Amino acid sequence: MLIPLMISLSQPVQLAQAEPCKMTVFFNSRIRYDDEINNCPILKGTFYNDDWKVELSQWEPGLYVYRGTNRITGDKIELMSSQIAGTVDRPQYRFKNGEVVYAVSFQRSDPNTIRVEIFENSTRIFNQLLNR
């Protein structure tokens, strides 16, 4: 039994590379046609936890909307962005408000849960999961 195990362990292991998110928006002014090519899943909907409500939507090709509401204070923020990052299996959409960045990520295998992180001057000040 040791010989087959040694042989299998000595074989090179092929690790799958994670495919990065890429987005391109095409605009044709002659026929007013916008088209988006985005290899990452677009997540739309409303997500909650005890303190926050976040609505994600798409305004137009290549432009996403983040609406956040603090369920305790009632404070609201609405941001639009076309910045994507991450991988096809774990995309991340980023929304900027001055020096503050709101990053929404999710796993393609679990579209009912998002992670919201808020960074101020590159320091993470918020990190919570929200569910549909």
What are the tens digits of pLDDT across the range 59-110?
877 789 999 999 999 999 999 988 888 898 999 999 999 999 999 999 999 9
SS3 of residue 79 by DSSP: strand
pTM for this prediction: 0.77
Report, in angstroms and rounded to the nearest whole number, the Rg of the chain calculated over CA atoms. 20
Nearest in space to 91 (alpha carbons), one of 21, 9, 29, 38 = 21
* Residue 118 predicted with pLDDT over 60: yes
Weakest-pLDDT range from 4-8, 41-45, 52-56, 64-68:
4-8
| Region of residue 86 (phi > 0: left; psi between -120 and 50: alpha; otherwise: beta) | left
* Token pair listed for 55: 């609505």
Residue 88 and residue 71 in contact, taking contact as beta carbons nearer than 8 Å: no
Look at residue 20 in the predicted model and tell me its pLDDT: 84
* Residue 2 predicted with pLDDT over 60: no
* Token pair listed for 81: 């962005």
